[in-house]
Structure 1
Amino acid sequence: MNSVLPSPRFPDLNGFPDTTAFRVEPKLEPLDEDLESPPGMFTPGSSARNRNPGFDLNANADGVASVGTSSGVSKGAAAPEASNVLSEFNRISEIFNSAFTSGGCEEEESVMEEEERNELALAIVAVPEEQAIVPKKIKYPPRSNELVRVTNLTEEDEQYYREIVRRARMIFDSLSVSAVVDDDRNIAGGTFDRKTRGDTKAAGLMRECGLWLNRDKRIVGAIPGIEIGDVFFFRMELCVLGLHGQVQAGIDYLPSNRSSNGEPVATSVIVSGGYEDDEDSGYVITYTGHGGQDKNGKQCAHQKLEGGNLALERSMHYEVEVRVIRGFRYSGANSGKIYVYDGLYKVVDTWFDVGKSGFGVYKFKLVRMENQPEMGSTILKMAQMLKTKPLDVRPRGYLCLDLSGKKETMPVLLFNDIDNDQDPLHHQYLVSTVIPKYVFQVGSHSGCECISGCSFDCLCILKNGGEFPYDNKGMLIKGKPLVFECGPQCRCPPTCRNRVSQKGVRSRFEVFRSRETGWGVRSLDLIQAGAFICEYAGVVLTRDQAQVISMVGDTLVYPSRFAERWAEWGELSQIYSDYVRPSYPAIPPLDFAMDVSSLRNVACYISHSNSPNVFAQFVLFDHNNVMFPRTMLFAMENIPPLRELSLDYGVAEEWTAKLAICN
């Protein structure tokens, strides 16, 4: 990666008011609801600290340093110890010191620095001084003052940074799930009686271990490794990745008291309907500035041209692009909301107007920049319509509205608008793997006696090492060589927490024809990381049977060849120094194949990838023969609607080319 080259600073504006010290009133968005921040994550009650506002801003004509990359140097440049634009894992500055409002409006709030007063809308109750326990504060390096724009990434660079982001997100998702499960276990054991928010606990642990991304530079424009359409379930994840550095404020910006010329610059905004005067038509947004709202979100005072408002105005003046993230209500999210990255916008106009409540508000017109992929929010809306009226959205291209013939709990659509290939219609749909009868006669298969639901000391949970494999929402906590679920011999009800993969698909899938991968699979629903997708179904063949079938040229699927991506889900060695890869329950090398030449299900059309978003997890529930587990598929990351599913078949190059099912 090339070094940052110096160029002229922002020009000074004659007569422009001094904004070195200003009242920061961030545009607050509705906070992710639920519980509280983990101890040590944010420290209420501390005062703002003074920092040296002076620094050198290496800038180009629009005030932002541009950095180009070339293949072959990106990997070395991203090393944590190197001086470079992007650091994979850097500690972040302390981004929160609480602010107590003394009255109805935000105008009554105390003066604080931008990063130290990102107010969390939580129920904070004052404690008498003699009862207060002041937690030990951890010092973190401050967030960088330097603005840069990353340009000219090669395809290799993009894949590299995508992998960095993917692994950081897996750590965050795994920690979020395991944190909630740990609380459940502590509560059940009587050692803890209060839950913490999984997302804030995950963010706190990652920050302590220096795993927050893109903190050594403030990136203007696109973040390497984050794609338009990426979906996030928590605001804290945006902070961890550096996409939006504010916990609750809707405008993220470099404040004037840290800018080399005393002027703020906005880098990203969140649009989620937090202000009554906002208007969003997709490509054009009328965005209302911050300030003047009471605790109920009602405008109660005039806004001022300062803080984030001034930053957006300055971004317009210097034609600096801003990232736009949209927030949506979503019933499947823990917080009731999801966030989708929709790309880059330019601030083209600003004016002061009388809002709906009769108070003066600043408005900003944001227009989406050209030559970008389709907005993620548009795809979300399209997928929602496809679930109810697919033929109204796509009158041509559907070959079948349920490839499974109503065998699955959700319909499987078949779509091809490229050619005349109808191959999936020529195969019988198979819901679950056909296993030889003799497999069920090997070993005793005794079930648990849990009438109302399994507990930590139940027989099936003890088979899993005394741990539940799933959380209360059915998310896989961490990958293992083998997972034991409750089965037909168990007395627990169908609603038992330990019955996940045997319930069938939960999302609406679409088998579609692609010019790049042949036949592929995508979902019409948003799939959360760790969620069950479906079983990889086929007819089980022994080694001798597989040799006979392969002699006539038919391609077989070998579960033993699937890459062990399950080990990456829940891999927390960068968080815990004593982390050990799960090795229990152990299983012998699998020595069987699956024939999918005539009987198959939707999973058989998932394409191969070396950087997959789906992984295979072996599961047993209806028999006890560990040599013949079922191959269940789980989401490795959040998978937005209409994004293709991919699986690492773990096969050699010559065998991958023969995977005729998908290609």
Structure 2
Amino acid sequence: MILKMRSWSKNTKLETGSKGGNYGDDLTSIHGISTTMAVKDKLRLFNKYFLHFSKAEDARCYRVNGSASDHEIANGKIKDKEEGCEGHVKQAKRSKHKGWVTKRPDLKAISEMLNKNEVLYHERYFGDLPGIEVGHRFYSRAEMVAVGLHKLLLKRIDYIGKPYVKSEYNGYTFPLAAAIVMSGQYEDDFGNREEIVYTGEGEKDIPGKKRQFSDQVMRCGNLALKNNKKQSVPVRVIRGHKCDDSYSKKVYSKKVYIYDGLYKVTGYWDEKGVSGFKVFKYRLKRLRGQDNLTSQNQVHFVRGKVSRVQQELPGLVCKDLSNGQEDKCIPVFNFYNPSLAPTGFKYINSIKVAKNVSIPPDAPGCNCRGKCTNPRSCSCAQLNGGDFPYVSRDGGRLFEAKDVVFECGPNCGCGPECVNRTSQQGLKYQLEVYRTKEKGWAVRSLDFIPSGAPVCEYVGILRKNDELEDISENDYIFEIDCWHTMKGIGGRERRLGDVSLPMSNLVDEVDERTLESEPEPEFCIDASSFGNVARFINHSCDPNLFVQCILSSHHDVRLARIVLFAADDIPRMQELTYDYNYAIDSVIGPDGKTKQLPCFCGTSECRKRLY
């Protein structure tokens, strides 16, 4: 029997009674954007809600511990207001008779998306979903719900039952499974990644010791998988792995979920499980013709030090590009020319200022002590629109991209661990420079980087634009165009999170009309001869980093710091990129002719030309 199901894959080759891989109209775009971007946009929206509710939880914790002063925290009487809040979370869980409301930001985030009808793929579909490729990683069950890959937060088998059956499914027996999660929760799951034995669900003490307490029953998800076998309907398989990269902390389950593709159910039976009760078993085999499974066996650097084995890795041409200037070493690999390492520049970890550039004096600071926690009393928070721009989770994450971020500076009373100094704390992630075939040097991370986390500052010599020579031949110029972006000058795209910048914060009290009359920025950062790891980060038309202007010492937006932040949750070993944002035909060579440079980012959103 052939199921006339809606499948979005062009490449999937189905077997065992199937006639091919496309069961309906192919979907390549959603609301005018590619399906890849649609998936990415939904995950970014989820992360925005996640950080919003994380921020709200931080505020709740502050209220819970409102009697504790910043001075008490700084002096160790209370280690952290978040720690004081943890007991209240546990107490809320125990007080079931009073009604339980989750405080987990990920669950609140997905509830918000469901309530606003903002999830992708509202209905359940069989087969691959466009925009979600084999190997796609998700860092919580809630993320999978956000994009429709698996619509259940707790249960393992996502199925379509009779209430959901449409006329296009007439003649087929339901329920039918659309997706399953295999995450080791059941005692009897085993197998390799091409063929697995999957244990049915139900009759398990999930909150307790996670043991079977009764015989499983052939119904719901168990019956769905049985029907998949009888009618040759493939099922999506998502495999959970233990990992510290997920949202899991304390009460969270530390797992990352990887989409392994489509599997067919080749058999099922029941047997006595480890706990002595009947369980259902299903044998699943991965369909041929899909992308290869991603490897879990990757070599990682640990705590910023190169081990003896790693020193002997082929292609390692430099153990530490920074020569000890960064808290974490930056190794360099070159598999195309093992004798070639980056040359022609000197590594620095902070901005150098040209002699003819004057840096304004340090701005007045806040009167907080220890860590800034109360936005109502913190003058730096008031500059950011009345709240802190960062969430304290994961060492500090930017809630959203803003025109400009005001951080605490030298004249502030808070210490270096203040969340409003997040971008000033050096490299937090283990970065690696490596040689590519077409793009020259590139940068990737050996650590997972959560969305909103600062990756690195763009460092070089702070210069005036009009004094640069042969600018068209310099690929390491970064114009400080924060003001122009804020005002949308020159076609620049404005951002959310606009803040009112007091004119007194501008050097020499330059008025807005003067600034707006300037078609190009006055200052730039030149990383051609002096720079840091950021100079090796490539362009992409679909980047995973974004540029954020930051003011931390003075408040002259024309001389803002340029910091690169994670736009998405970035898995290990993925190249780090940002959009150089050149306008086509905007670069003129020394001969007066327009220069062109092809783009090799290789993404589905590629514009084919860098400029």
Partner of residue 545 from structure 1, selected from 461, 467, 485: 467
Partner of 2:182: 271
Where 2:279 maps in the other structure, the secondary structure is: strand
Question: Unaligned stretches of 5+ in structure 2?
Answer: 11-20, 67-84, 90-101, 488-494, 507-514, 588-594, 602-609
Q: Is the 8 A contact 2:270 2:279 kept in 1?
A: yes
Partner of 1:583: 498
Q: CA, structure 1 residues 385+363, in 2 after alignment: closer, same or farther (shift >3 Å)? A: farther
Q: In the aligned structure 2, how far is the partner of 1:592 from the partner of 1:421? A: 37
Partner of 1:402: 320
Q: Return 652-661 or 449-458, whichever deviates more.
A: 652-661
Q: Residue type of the partner of 1:214?
A: Y
Partner of 1:644: 575
Partner of 1:212: 119
Give 1:440 shift.
6.3
Give 1:213 shift.
1.1
Give 1:243 shift.
0.6
Partner of 1:609: 540
Q: Is the 8 A contact 2:370 2:415 kept in 1?
A: yes
What is the CA deviation profile of residues 627-662 of structure 1, one whole-angstrom value per residue up to 9, with x for unaligned ones? 111100111111111112221111124549569999
Q: In the aligned structure 2, how far is the partner of 1:158 from the partner of 1:420? A: 45
Q: CA, structure 1 residues 158+410, in 2 after alignment: closer, same or farther (shift >3 Å)? A: farther
Q: CA, structure 1 residues 398+545, in 2 after alignment: closer, same or farther (shift >3 Å)? A: same
Give me the identity figure in percent.
33
Partner of 1:417: 335
Where 1:487 maps in the other structure, the secondary structure is: coil
For residues 57-68 of structure 1, what are the structure 2 equivalents within 5 Å? Answer: 61-66=2-7
Give 1:223 shift.
1.3
Q: In the aligned structure 1, how far is the partner of 2:40 from the partner of 2:388? A: 25
Q: Is the 8 A contact 1:309 1:362 kept in 2?
A: yes
Give 1:310 shift.
2.0
Q: CA, structure 1 residues 437+202, in 2 after alignment: closer, same or farther (shift >3 Å)? A: farther
Q: In the aligned structure 2, how far is the partner of 1:478 from the partner of 1:243? A: 26
Q: CA, structure 1 residues 179+363, in 2 after alignment: closer, same or farther (shift >3 Å)? A: same
Give 1:156 shift.
11
Partner of residue 385 from structure 2, selected from 444, 465, 485: 465
Is 1:557 matched with 2:477? yes
Is 1:244 matched with 2:175? no
What is the CA deviation profile of residues 31-66 of structure 1, one whole-angstrom value per residue up to 9, with x for unaligned ones? xxxxxxxxxxxxxxxxxxxxxxxxxxxxxx244234
Q: Is the 8 A contact 1:522 1:644 kept in 2?
A: yes
Structure with the greater relative contact order (CA < 8 A, sep ≥ 6): 1 or 2? 1
Q: In the aligned structure 1, how far is the partner of 2:402 from the partner of 2:464? A: 24
Q: Residue type of the partner of 1:406?
A: G
Where 2:392 maps in the other structure, the secondary structure is: coil
Partner of 2:196: 285
Give 1:500 shift.
0.8
Q: Residue type of the partner of 1:352?
A: D
Q: Residue type of the partner of 1:550?
A: I
Where 1:558 maps in the other structure, the secondary structure is: strand
Q: CA, structure 1 residues 314+529, in 2 after alignment: closer, same or farther (shift >3 Å)? A: same
Q: CA, structure 1 residues 515+564, in 2 after alignment: closer, same or farther (shift >3 Å)? A: farther
Partner of 1:324: 237
Give 1:443 shift.
4.3
Where 1:219 maps in the other structure, the secondary structure is: coil
Where 2:216 maps in the other structure, the secondary structure is: coil
Q: In the aligned structure 2, how far is the partner of 1:305 from the partner of 1:394? A: 55
Partner of 2:107: 200
Where 1:492 maps in the other structure, the secondary structure is: coil
Q: In the aligned structure 2, how far is the partner of 1:612 from the partner of 1:565? A: 19
Is 1:382 matched with 2:304? no
Is 1:182 matched with 2:56? yes
Q: CA, structure 1 residues 198+250, in 2 after alignment: closer, same or farther (shift >3 Å)? A: same
For residues 333-344 of structure 1, what are the structure 2 equivalents within 5 Å? Answer: 333-334=247-248, 335=252, 336-344=254-262
Q: In the aligned structure 1, how far is the partner of 2:144 from the partner of 2:194? A: 22
Q: In the aligned structure 2, how far is the partner of 1:427 from the partner of 1:660? A: 24
Give 1:155 shift.
10
Partner of residue 211 from structure 2, selected from 274, 291, 298: 298
Q: CA, structure 1 residues 480+340, in 2 after alignment: closer, same or farther (shift >3 Å)? A: same
Give 1:583 shift.
2.0
Q: Is the 8 A contact 2:301 2:430 kept in 1?
A: no
Give 1:371 shift.
4.1
Q: In the aligned structure 1, how far is the partner of 2:22 from the partner of 2:183? A: 27
Q: Residue type of the partner of 1:167?
A: D
Give 1:608 shift.
1.2
Q: In the aligned structure 2, how far is the partner of 1:180 from the partner of 1:154? A: 34
Q: CA, structure 1 residues 385+550, in 2 after alignment: closer, same or farther (shift >3 Å)? A: closer
Partner of 2:283: 365
Q: Is the 8 A contact 1:232 1:339 kept in 2?
A: yes
Q: Return 586-595 or 533-542, whichever deviates more.
A: 586-595
Q: In the aligned structure 2, how far is the partner of 1:479 from the partner of 1:392? A: 37
What is the CA deviation profile of residues 526-555 of structure 1, one whole-angstrom value per residue up to 9, with x for unaligned ones? 111111111112211102322x2527x333
Partner of 1:625: 556
Q: In the aligned structure 1, how far is the partner of 2:290 from the partner of 2:311? A: 22
Partner of 1:255: 161
Q: Residue type of the partner of 1:213?
A: L
Q: In the aligned structure 1, how far is the partner of 2:308 from the partner of 2:291? A: 22
Q: CA, structure 1 residues 152+383, in 2 after alignment: closer, same or farther (shift >3 Å)? A: farther
Is 1:510 matched with 2:429? no
Q: Is the 8 A contact 1:468 1:498 kept in 2?
A: yes
Q: Is the 8 A contact 1:566 1:616 kept in 2?
A: no
Q: Is the 8 A contact 2:403 2:485 kept in 1?
A: no
Q: Return 499-508 or 258-267, whichever deviates more.
A: 258-267
Partner of 1:312: 225
Q: Is the 8 A contact 1:63 1:318 kept in 2?
A: no
Q: Return 514-523 or 638-647, whichever deviates more.
A: 514-523
Where 2:119 maps in the other structure, the secondary structure is: coil
Q: Residue type of the partner of 2:58?
A: D
Q: Residue type of the partner of 2:392?
A: N
Where 2:390 maps in the other structure, the secondary structure is: coil
Q: Is the 8 A contact 1:289 1:308 kept in 2?
A: yes
Q: In the aligned structure 1, how far is the partner of 2:284 from the partner of 2:399? A: 41
Q: CA, structure 1 residues 317+422, in 2 after alignment: closer, same or farther (shift >3 Å)? A: farther
Q: In the aligned structure 2, how far is the partner of 1:411 from the partner of 1:352? A: 53
Q: Return 610-619 or 590-599, whichever deviates more.
A: 590-599
RMSD: 3.7
Is 1:484 matched with 2:415? no
Q: In the aligned structure 1, how far is the partner of 2:314 from the partner of 2:358? A: 46
Give 1:493 shift.
1.6
Partner of residue 40 from structure 2, selected from 160, 166, 170: 166
Q: Is the 8 A contact 2:145 2:152 kept in 1?
A: yes
TM-score where L is the length of structure 1: 0.69
Q: Return 517-526 or 345-354, whichever deviates more.
A: 345-354
Q: CA, structure 1 residues 435+385, in 2 after alignment: closer, same or farther (shift >3 Å)? A: closer
Where 2:419 maps in the other structure, the secondary structure is: coil
Q: In the aligned structure 2, how far is the partner of 1:168 from the partner of 1:564? A: 29
Q: In the aligned structure 1, how far is the partner of 2:138 from the partner of 2:599? A: 34
For residues 105-116 of structure 1, what are the structure 2 equivalents within 5 Å? Answer: none
Is 1:522 matched with 2:522? no
Where 1:424 maps in the other structure, the secondary structure is: coil
Give 1:189 shift.
5.8
